[in-house]
Structures are given as C-alpha cells and as structure tokens.
Copies of this chain bind each other. A is one copy, B any other.
C-alpha cells in the first residue's frame, strides 16, 4: 500500500462490521465506494449480522476482532440508529489502528483507550458529493475509511474532539465480597452464551474454584473443552475470547437455559 509521507503506515486492509445483513446491496455498494477511492485496499468482512441497531453487541464484536489484524488496519463499523440525526461521525486512532463510525458508543473501547485521538469527520472532500439522510455507511463512513486506508493523514478528517460518546468499560459488577454479576455479551452460532466475566475483571477467576449461576441452573467449575461434560449438560469454560462462556456438549446453551443477549450471569469465587 502507498503510505503518504508523514502518516502512519497502513496495512492496506479495511474491515467491515455492520448490521446491514448481506441480503441487501448495502455492503456491496460500500465496497464499490472503497474500490473507487482506494483500488488497492483489501476489504475483510467481520460480520454484517449484528442485530439491527445493537450498538453494544457491535462494540463487543469489534473488541474481539480488531487485535487479530495487522497494525495500520482501518476498522469501519456502522451500527447507526441515529443516522440522519445530529450524531457525529468520528474517526479514532488508537493502539496503532484506525476506526471509523458513528459517535454513539460503538467505538467506546477505542475512545477510552490510552493515547487515543478522536476526530469528528467533517472534511467534505472525504465524503460523497451528495450525502443522503439514511446511508452514511456509503456516503460518509466508507469514503473516510478508504481515504485513511490509502494513506491520507488522520488530521485531515476534521477537528479533534474530547467528548466522544463512551458507554463505560462494560465490565461485570461486584455484588459481594466473592460475587460478581456479569452478562451475556454475545450468543454465537452454536448457541454458546459468551459473557463479560474475564480473569482480568474477576480476580482469581480460573485460579480458584468457582460456581456460575444463570437462569435456573448452577454450573460448578470451569471445563477444559466443549467436549467435557455429559451430553446435554450445561458447562462453563474459558472460551477463545478469553472470558467465560456457557455451552452444552453437543447441544445449544441458549436453548437449554432460555437466555439471550444481556441476561445476567453470576459467579461466586469459592
């Protein structure tokens, strides 16, 4: 990839994370816009199946995926219930990556990161000539990501802002000396319930024995793999994302527990 003088190195990759689905042409059109501006950039889909307008879910998925990409990648994330209203479009430089999206909390993890720089995207030369009221993914965000990915200076996006939306750390709440209440932050295709209970947030998790409670069930201890436990038994394990997930050997924890996104999951460290 070409790198403009004085700018940070770019990886030549733009990732896409949206709630647009893939049955419409929206994602394809964004890729066309990017290809026109930055023909050598490679676009990688993270997912387009975020639940419609679920900003928090998108935030979590972005947190799970961004660090697996090369330094200098531009992450374009659009879950945007407020499109066409006064919410700002922002670009963030943090942890060696760039991020582009609406200022609605989706980019909280980056906005809140050390040494992060946040700019409002106001440079008209970075947008399509006509900006529609309903599809800023195409008219504002995709062109901005394409400019950044092809080496345009971050400072050209617009002025620095210091009051970007921040939704908190999204961590579990301590509810007693040895008790924490987390929540289901993602349900994967296999029905595994992924929580925000991590060893970073809950001291001694994964070290000392623990009991997990969710719905009307209690799960004792952490299993090593999905294949542990009896068929049909709900188990807790540290998933590939580094936190606790609830799973059923050969089955579906979402159905077995009747729980979904946002459901509380308690842990007691024994």
Residues of A that sit less than 8 Å from B by CB: 11-13, 15, 17, 20-29, 31-33, 35-36, 39, 42, 44-49, 52, 61, 64-65, 68-70, 73, 81-85, 132-135, 138-139, 186, 188-190, 224-227, 237-240, 250
Decide yes or no: A25 and B64 within 8 Å by CB, A15-B32, A32-B15, A52-B189 being known contacts: yes
Q: Are B133 and A225 in contact, CB atoms less than 8 angstroms apart?
A: yes
Taking A28-B47, A29-B64 as known contacts, 4 extra A-B pairs with beta carbons closer than 8 A to each other, sorted by chain A number, are A23-B49, A32-B68, A35-B44, A139-B240
Number of copies: 3
Tell me how far the C-beta of A102 lies from the nearest C-beta in chain B, rounded to whole angstroms: 13
Q: Is the interface of A mostly helix, strand, loop or mixed?
A: loop
Residue pair B24, A12 in contact (C-beta under 8 Å): no
Q: In the docked arrangement, what's the CA distance between A70 and B239, Å?
A: 36
8 interchain pairs (CB within 8 A)? A20-B189, A23-B47, A28-B45, A29-B64, A36-B69, A81-B250, A133-B238, A134-B225
**Is B25 touching A65 in the complex (CB atoms < 8 A)?**
yes
Chain B residues with Cβ under 8 A from A69's Cβ?
32, 35-36
Interface centre among A33, A49, A68, A238 (most CB of B within 10 A): A68
Task: Knowing A25-B64, A225-B134 are in contact, say whether A31-B44 is a contact too (CB < 8 A).
Answer: yes
For residue A134, which residues in chain B have a CB less than 8 angstroms away from its CB? 225-226, 237, 239-240
CA distance A226 to B47 in the complex (A): 23
Shortest Cβ gap from A251 to chain B (Å): 10
| Cross-interface CB contact of A35 among B13, B39, B138, cutoff 8 Å | B13
Inside 8 A of A64's CB, which chain B residues have their CB?
Answer: 25, 29
6 closest A-B pairs by beta carbon, nearest first, are A84-B225, A135-B240, A23-B49, A21-B189, A28-B46, A32-B68
